[in-house]
Homo-oligomer: A and B are copies of this chain.
């Protein structure tokens, strides 16, 4: 990525401040301190449907034993491919990072982690588990936010981190073929060396796997420009529940010979197969990239700026993100605690937006961006703005947006919601949520200095109608969850939105699918799940229940 260019004629404008680089952002994945353990009663909303707290362990699944462990060991090529508490080769603590989820909200109790080194090993493990009736949870980087990638009970954890090779890259077609366990950032770095870009970017890039990205149909920061994985993924290699390897690793951009089967696995959250390889079309890396961040006084202003950005920037607009002052406050606090410089804007606002451009001609891109900036400043649509001058500032400005979830996690236990609704209605949902919590007497504030809810932050991908609501509590509690859910899903459904824009369903949202999908859809989903996994062994208790 080339360093962003200075737009010199704007340099003198006080409104478009240029300051020293912000403190470099630490690795995006940090351990989030465990502030609570999940109380069993946290699942009351689920219990309404299921008559129990968490979905109970299915009696139809075989309980993993030392005998199974011995058999699985025999299947695997190296002893280090298996960790288990059953034979004392691992302690429960050793397995904690596999059993617990990213938010430390969901906690499994699996005694076995299998880490195959080849697709064939994945196949053999699945074949064995299928025959024995052992339930399995496929796991990538375990960075999911809906409890989809860790066990609910004692499912065997099939972690694919050892499948981490880039298989091929074709510089003519831009087609990358890689193992499912390749880390997203590693894939993108390898592509950068060849002048290409992975058509997906998200905060967890340093930890998440591309196989997991495909399994959850991750959306991320640049969907606006590069579209969804349903368009860019060309082929998949998948191990089916019974161990059959499906080689659907097409490298062709066009292939109309039958149902596009790979599409079923994109977003299937590991319920009908384990993605061991992907083939994806990668665009050329933009020769020039620029980023600017603005403070604004209202959500209406953010919408206006979005319309102007689309008009002025056209095909080079690669991201349009927004965040509110509550989000920004969390980031500032987090940076302060880590000794990072925080002064960015002379004039802060109630809202912020980040605009990224990526194009093939730096001069043209700067002209387009300058045109936009002059218009925004001239019409006073923005309060203040900062334009990155070099690649360090580029990263620093991006971190203002990307650090929101991590900063929220540092501030407490976070109820995270990821929804999509029409752009005009996005922020209204955050305001409704705040009002609901205030009404419930749990929002910290003047009348409630000790309220368990410390902040309600709204941010997201403007271009995609994708809103993230992070509700920061001093701890996870039944009382708070009851106020939030299913209310948050009700207000999404009222606006014809989706209760999961990009995070998926997992164990968290499975009971609420009815808010976004009708009965015919749910029935079709159930039939497809049964078709592929008649024993229901793969990633049970989640997705479609």
Residue of B nearest to A520 (CB): B246
Interchain CA distance A518-B367 in the complex, whole Å = 51
Q: Is A207 an interface residue (CB 8 A)?
A: no
A268 to B311, CA, bound (A): 37
A104 adjacent to chain B (CB < 8 Å) = no
Q: Which one of A268, A422, A527 has the greatest number of beta carbons of chain B within 10 Å?
A: A422
Question: Nearest chain B CB to A204's CB is how many angstroms away?
Answer: 15
Report which of B232, B311, B315 forms a contact with A316, defined as CB distance below 8 A. Answer: B315
Establish whether residues A503 and B256, one from each chain, have CB atoms under 8 Å apart when the complex forms.
Answer: yes
Task: Mark contacts of A196-218 with chain B using CB atoms, 8 A cut-off: 1 yes-contact digit, 0 otherwise.
Answer: 00000000000000000000110
Nearest 7 CB-CB pairs, A to B? A231-B231, A314-B360, A263-B263, A255-B498, A254-B501, A364-B364, A257-B516
User: Which of B253, B264, B496, B505 has a CB less than 8 Å from the CB of A465?
Assistant: B253
B287:A257 contact, CB within 8 angstroms: no
How close is A226's CB to chain B, nearest CB, in angstroms? 9
Q: Are B314 and A284 in contact (CB under 8 A)?
A: yes
A252 neighbours in B (Cβ, 8 Å): 420, 465, 496-498, 501
Residue of B nearest to A312 (CB): B360
B465 touches A254 (CB 8 A): yes
Q: Are B255 and A420 in contact (CB under 8 A)?
A: yes
Whether B360 lies near A364 (C-beta < 8 A) is no
- Give Cα A329–Cα B119 distance, bound, in whole angstroms: 51
Are A250 and B361 neighbours in the complex by a CB distance under 8 Å? no
Whether, in the assembled complex, A513 has its beta carbon less than 8 Å from a beta carbon of chain B, the answer is: yes
Q: Contact string, A493-531, partner B, CB cutoff 8 A, digits 1/0?
A: 000111111111100010001001110111011011001
Chain A: interface residue count, which band? 35 or more
In the complex, residue of chain B having the shortest beta-carbon distance to the beta carbon of A514: B257
A230 at the interface (CB under 8 A from B): yes
Q: Give the contacts of A278-318 with B (CB-CB under 8 A).
A: 284, 286-287, 307, 310-316
Q: Which of B463, B497, B531 contacts A531 (CB 8 A)?
A: B531
Known: A232-B231, A360-B313, A364-B364. A521 touches B261 (CB 8 A): yes
Contact A543 B258 (CB under 8 A): yes
CB closest residue in chain B, given A313 = B360
Q: Which residues of B contact A461 (CB under 8 A)?
A: 254
Q: Is the CB of A544 within 8 A of B258?
A: yes
CB-CB under 8 A from A364, the residues of chain B are 361, 364, 367-368
Interface of chain A residues 454 through 497 with chain B (CB within 8 A): 461, 463-466, 496-497
**Which residues on the B side are within 8 Å of A420 (C-beta)?**
252-255
CB contact under 8 A between A254 and B502, given known A227-B231, A260-B217, A314-B284:
yes
Closest to A424 in B: B172
Most buried by B among A252, A287, A496: A252
The reply on A359 being an interface residue by CB < 8 A is yes
Q: In this assembly, does A336 line the interface, its C-beta being within 8 Å of a C-beta of chain B?
A: no
| A244 contacts B by Cβ under 8 Å | yes
* B361:A254 contact, CB within 8 angstroms: no
Which residue of chain B lies nearest to A306 when distances are taken between CB atoms in the complex?
B172
User: Are B315 and A517 in touch, CB under 8 angstroms?
Assistant: no
Is A386 in contact with chain B by the CB < 8 A criterion? no
Q: Does A222 contact B (CB under 8 A)?
A: no
Residues of chain B within 8 A of A138, CB atoms compared: none
Once bound together, how far apart are the Cα atoms of A250 and B232, in whole Å?
Answer: 20
Q: A172-B424, A256-B502, A364-B367 are in contact. List 11 more A-B contacts (CB 8 A).
A: A172-B307, A252-B501, A254-B461, A254-B464, A256-B503, A258-B521, A259-B525, A263-B263, A314-B359, A315-B360, A528-B528
Are B504 and A256 closer than 8 Å at their CB atoms?
yes
Query: Contacts A368-B361, A521-B261 known; A251 to B528 CB distance under 8 Å?
Result: no
Which residues of A, 260-282, contact B by the 8 Å Cβ criterion? 260-261, 263-264, 266-268
Q: How far is the CB of A21 from chain B (nearest CB, A)?
A: 28
In the complex the two chains form, is A498's CB within 8 Å of B250's CB? yes
Taking a contact as CB atoms under 8 Å apart, the answer to whether A217 and B253 are in contact is no
Contact indicator A517/B464 (Cβ below 8 Å): no
B246 touches A521 (CB 8 A): yes
Assess A256 versus B521: contact at CB under 8 Å? Given A228-B231, A313-B360: no
Query: 22 A-B Cβ contacts within 8 A?
Result: A173-B423, A227-B231, A227-B232, A228-B231, A230-B231, A231-B232, A247-B520, A248-B521, A252-B497, A255-B498, A256-B505, A257-B505, A257-B513, A258-B513, A258-B543, A259-B267, A260-B263, A260-B264, A315-B315, A315-B316, A315-B359, A364-B364
Neighbour of A244 across the interface among B248, B500, B520, CB < 8 A:
B520
Q: What's the Cα separation between A43 and B287 when bound, in Å?
A: 53
| C-alpha gap A23/B314 in the complex (Å) | 33
Q: Are A264 and B259 within 8 A (Cβ)?
A: yes
A263 to B257, CA, bound (A): 14
Closest CB in chain B relative to A253 CB, distance in Å: 5
